[in-house]
Structure 1
Amino acid sequence: MLRFLPAPLLMVISASLAIINTAIIGTLVAICGVFKLLAPKQLYPQLSRLTNYLMWCWSEVNRAIFKLVNKTEFVIEDNSQLSKQHWYLLICNHQSWADIVLLCMLFGSRIPMPKFFLKQQLLYVPFVGLACWALDMPFMRRYSRQYLLKHPEKRGKDLESTKRSCEKFKNMPTTVINFVEGTRFNQQKQQQSSSSYQYLLPPKALGIAYTLSVLGEQFDQIINVTLAYPNTNPSLTPFKALLSGKLDKVVVKIDTIPIDQQLRGDYLQDKHFKRHFKLWLDQTWQAKDQYLKTVLNKD
């Protein structure tokens, strides 16, 4: 443990180690990605297993790094029965880059290594973008309403990208993670979105509904995760707190939701299903918001 060191020094040490870890593992994964392009298709599953194993190694090294600088208390509410042999859709609230690191640490040895829906811009981040591409993570290019009005030919292109990405997951147990809010929560975004939730942004239903329509019969369950960072210094984001040894407590609630016919349908064309799905997702988010209110001890 290095917590006796000053927080700025801890941040430099942990950030440097994390960057080195990401650079090394990211380079190895990217090399495997090149082999995926060049190798015969029958070798694709073996190369995918190798890239998933490298991602697990990245997660385990991160675990060691952050244990070196943090003494975090984890409070986990979990009655789920999970397996690395099953397919899952994992939904979670999104507050910080720390969410990604922690989800990999918490679930990497329990379920198939997760695939995140990523913004298109992340493709160009050194080491990270190419590695995520080699890991078959879906890159989403979201278009604004104003852009689509000027370029109607782009309508539906992001959904086509989602479908192509999901098709790759049918032959190997996979966990797909969707941060349903679409972006990290903060007070400014909450006010701009006119959110009716105290600790969450409004959920975006289209992405998760479309994923369920493509892979719904393949997914065994939805894993519903709620992350909270109580007692974190308000001047620090959870990610900065994680790097600087100030992440004192993490609360995690894990529920599983069965996938039935009521959660699979044509969100774009079936208005009745669209209303039903949005109602289900809103109720799920209301329960999540109430739980966060309890955990964070605020009225």
Structure 2
Amino acid sequence: MLPFRLALTFLLIAANTVVHVAPLLLVALLKVMLPFPRMRALCNPLLTGLAESWIGFNSWMWDAFTDTRLNVQGAAELRADGHYLVLANHQSWVDILVLQKVFNRRIPLLRFFLKRQLFWVPLLGMAWWALDFPFMGRYTPKQIARNPALAGRDIDVTRRACEKFRAIPVAIMNFVEGTRFTAAKHARQSSPYRHLLKPKSGGVAFVLDAMGQGLQAILDVSIAYPAGSPSLLDLLAGRIPEVRVQVRQHPIPADLVGGDYQNDRDFRIRFQHWMNGLWREKDAALGELLGAAPAPPPD
């Protein structure tokens, strides 16, 4: 029975993607061809609506094909026309589906900063491009040492993306740890947090610098899996009993907007101190989420 369910789920996911991405790319092509900014702006609600419809169908499949319970705290008083910076911990690709299910049509479409290689994912890469998802090089220290000019490229991408986002309702998504949590990475970092890797503050600082005045709040999202970090296959196979999510809203810290994170050492230290404090609170929140009694496994 499980192989049949998995085959049906993959077929529906593929069909859902083709049905939504094809018209999305047509609208994106029309947007590129239109001569005036106001005319191009008229395409944005169509593009966003198609993306939200695609996410909505995926969320329906979550409910229809799994018994996974989603327990969400603190997601009230959200605005679909708001401007948010969304920060979350990262353990699994399931995190993205959780975030989309929690926030779809409750806040603006989540825009992720993606690795440049993901542009070549069939259909989805072009869809992310059409929706103005920023593609980052994410260069290693060794690459930057060999070619120092690479150091500023991702900053430029961030600034250009934020310029586009100022004109529309937006939720900018940042996995602050920069990679998925594993026990090996946690040990290698000697992370001071029990459930988290060390936060990388630079990306958050660049977003606040570029559009801090245009953001209304930070949504701090803690995602916990009481049964252990899952894979996408675990979700599709119904092997995740429960996902627990806590959403906390924070005001944009006025004293951290518009600073020079790269060149101002005092500002960088102050920003990292704030980020580390936020991360200590998140680590405690994850401890509480994981400490509650787990849901019984699906039948």
TM-score by length of 1: 0.92
- Between the aligned residues of both structures, percent identity stands at 34
Q: What residue in structure 2 maps to residue 284 of structure 1? A: 278
Distance 1:112 1:295 in 2: 26
Contact kept? 1:80, 1:256, Cα under 8 Å: no
Which of the numbers 138, 150, 156 marks the counterpart of 1:142? 138
Deviations 1:25-72 (A, max 9, x none): 222222222222112232221211111001110111001111111122
In 1: Cα distance, 2:8 partner to 2:224 partner: 25
Of stretches 21-30 and 49-58 in structure 1, the one that deviates more from structure 2 is 21-30
CA distance in 2, matches of 1:183, 1:22: 26
**Equivalent residue, structure 2, for 1:263:** 256
Q: How does 1:76-155 map to 2 (within 5 A)?
A: 76-78=72-74, 80-155=76-151
- Shift, 1:222, TM fit: 0.4
Corresponding residue number in structure 1 for 2:291: 297
Deviation, 1:229, is: 1.3
- Output the CA distance in 1 between the equivalents of 2:104 and 2:205: 25
Name the CA distance, whole Å, in 2 between partners of 1:14 and 1:221.
Answer: 36
2:70 partner letter: F
The CA deviation string for residues 179-237 of structure 1, in whole angstroms up to 9 with x for no partner, is: 111121122222233322222111110001000000100000000000111125x7xx2
Instruction: Report the counterpart of residue 73 of structure 1 in structure 2.
Output: 69
Q: Aligned AA for 1:266?
A: D
> Equivalents in 2 of 1:291, 1:155: separation in Å?
34
CA RMSD of aligned residues (A): 1.7
Partner Cα separation in structure 2 for residue 141 and residue 79 of structure 1? 33
Is the 1:18–1:62 Cα contact (8 Å) retained in structure 2?
A: yes
1:30 aligns with 2:25: yes
- Give the TM-score taking structure 2 as reference length: 0.92
Shift of 1:97: 1.4
Paired amino acid for 1:32? V
Q: How does 1:51-62 map onto structure 2 within 5 Å?
A: 51-62=47-58
Deviations 1:269-292 (A, max 9, x none): 221211111111111112211222
8 Å contact from structure 1 (residues 229, 238) kept in 2: no
The equivalent of 1:20 in structure 2 is 15
Alpha carbons of structure 1 residues 79 and 32: separation in structure 2 relative to 1, 3 Å: closer
Equivalent in the alignment of 1:241: 234
Q: How many residues align?
A: 290
Greater CA deviation, 54-63 or 29-38? 29-38
| Runs of 4+ residues deviating >6 angstroms | none
Q: Which amino acid aligns with 1:99?
A: D
CA contact (8 A) 1:14 1:244 kept: no
Unaligned runs of 5+ in 1: none
* SS at structure 1 position matched to 2:86: strand
| Aligned residue in 2 for 1:9 | 4
Mapped contact 1:222–1:258 kept (Cα < 8 A): yes
- SS of match in other structure, 1:247: coil
Aligned counterparts of 1:99 and 1:135: Cα–Cα separation in 2: 20
Q: Tell me, what secondary structure is at the counterpart of 2:213? A: coil
